[in-house]
Structure 1
């Protein structure tokens, strides 16, 4: 594990609450959720990421959300703002706005759709990191972007002083372990089923969608591992897997399933809300976890 995690170990990819018609941010609900997550065991919060519905929030809404959550949780809680777009210039604009709004770090996804070659991917990340004074977390999620940050590219980016962390959603534990061993990058799992395995090979922690509804049980896995209780960590991790499967492997985005549990307002189109049967199943999975806790 990285000796000094740049943003803590247990991070939540926080949803973005909207008002009943979905037209506006529900800032009171966002503030209340942020406070609950921190008190429940989250070291930091990732705002305006995929789970935060960044594709359908405006630039102004993104900045407003960062400011509101910063005011709610105070200065001691790391806030990482998602600023990734398919346009380098736009990403730089969002990065500077997030820094000005109080973000402690930036989550920058690989440019999507245009499928840039690796040299362009590296140049994009360096351009963003050069433009701000807060550290950058690379977001490697090729299943959504169509482009992976290849191993050699990652190793090269590790020499940039402003690039300090990775949110890894590749599912490739081998490459992650190699980069962890060869760099000082802090690796955060973006797949709940790999939180513990990645941590065991030197990862820093996780950026979790499931943490929106189960922050304490997720953190307990890392705490047990840090105490040297690897068997206990495995047991706690196993208890979480049914909920993780229900939330993340139900054929719906995590944003949809989490909002179905939290009653945090609608999702924005093109997403659609979860159906009643799905919502009932999610509540059963959460209740089962609570019963074993």
Structure 2
């Protein structure tokens, strides 16, 4: 069993007039810690890492590490230039982090052998555990089951963020005993936990965070009826979170709570008035 259990939040990156809002970031991270999340994931999809320079990504990581114990911080590590990615990895690893969240290289669609080589190369170069991020609808890379099982047999690859949409692969990972599974599709969190997932990396858990933590604890303690009821209370929130491209709805909800602004980096756009109205109705209940 790895250290990656429970509810982890892939924290958004707040902006103000185009620059990173470090005051808002610290306020948000402190708020999440008060809600007893297992940890914080930095510079992920939800954190708009693709819109941040490498320098900015390190600055966000450093800001989070000032507030969060290192064993509760995971850094996203994404890119399709392997040499540049490995150089950036070495910079990240100068910081004390609990692990790296690594997706397949996007756009180039490597072969199955290429995927295996890529993840083993990153893992070999890492001094901390690696979480494989399986998200084919963003990367364009789909893992065959045999490839996935070969990759996670690496001693440093300890968990998978499962957004693959392939139940057969999920079950094979759970049955293998080689790796922990962290659900990455928020609407599947209850199902995944009941199947044996060790936790979730949930963008939705920015809001009503304590309810996500409660649901995880209820499943862990075999209180399945209670966990199911908690999940169904959260379902309207989860559905609203993904009405429009992530993280626009997340930032809209957090703005209504006064934690950060709704600003995103282009070409991402702030949430529509329809989403804002939906949040106002939901969060006033």
TM-score, normalization: structure 1? 0.92
Superposition deviation, residue 158 in structure 1: 1.9
Within the alignment, does 1:178 sit opposite 2:172 as a pair? Answer: yes
Maintained 8 Å contact 1:17/1:25:
yes
Q: The residue matched to 2:181 in structure 1 has which SS?
A: strand
Maintained 8 Å contact 1:15/1:51:
yes
1:135-189, Cα deviation, whole Å (9 max, x unpaired): 1100000111111222111110122111111001122223201221013211000
Within the alignment, does 1:195 sit opposite 2:192 as a pair? Answer: no
Which residue is 1:68 aligned to?
Answer: 63
Distance 1:129 1:191 in 2: 24
Which residue is 1:280 aligned to?
Answer: 277
Mind listing any 5+ residue stretches in structure 1 that lack a counterpart? 289-293
Which aligned pairs between 1:153-172 and structure 2 lie closer than 5 A? Answer: 153-172=147-166
Distance 1:82 1:174 in 2: 26
Maintained 8 Å contact 2:174/2:180:
yes
1:236-279, Cα deviation, whole Å (9 max, x unpaired): 1111111100111x1x2221011111122310000011122321
Maintained 8 Å contact 1:158/1:183:
no
Q: The residue matched to 1:272 in structure 2 has which SS?
A: coil
Distance 1:10 1:277 in 2: 28
Distance 1:5 1:198 in 2: 17
1:192-229, Cα deviation, whole Å (9 max, x unpaired): 11111111111110000001112111111111112221
Maintained 8 Å contact 1:177/1:202:
no
Q: Please report the RMSD computed on the Cα atoms of aligned residues, expressed in angstroms.
A: 1.4
Maintained 8 Å contact 1:195/1:206:
yes
**Closer, same or farther in 2 for the Cα pair 1:6/1:74, shift >3 Å?**
closer
Which residue is 2:22 aligned to?
Answer: 27
Within the alignment, does 1:109 sit opposite 2:103 as a pair? Answer: yes
Distance 2:284 2:142 in 1: 37
Instruction: Report the number of matched residues.
Output: 280
Which residue is 1:261 aligned to?
Answer: 253
Mind listing any 5+ residue stretches in structure 2 that lack a counterpart? none
Q: The residue matched to 1:89 in structure 2 has which SS?
A: helix
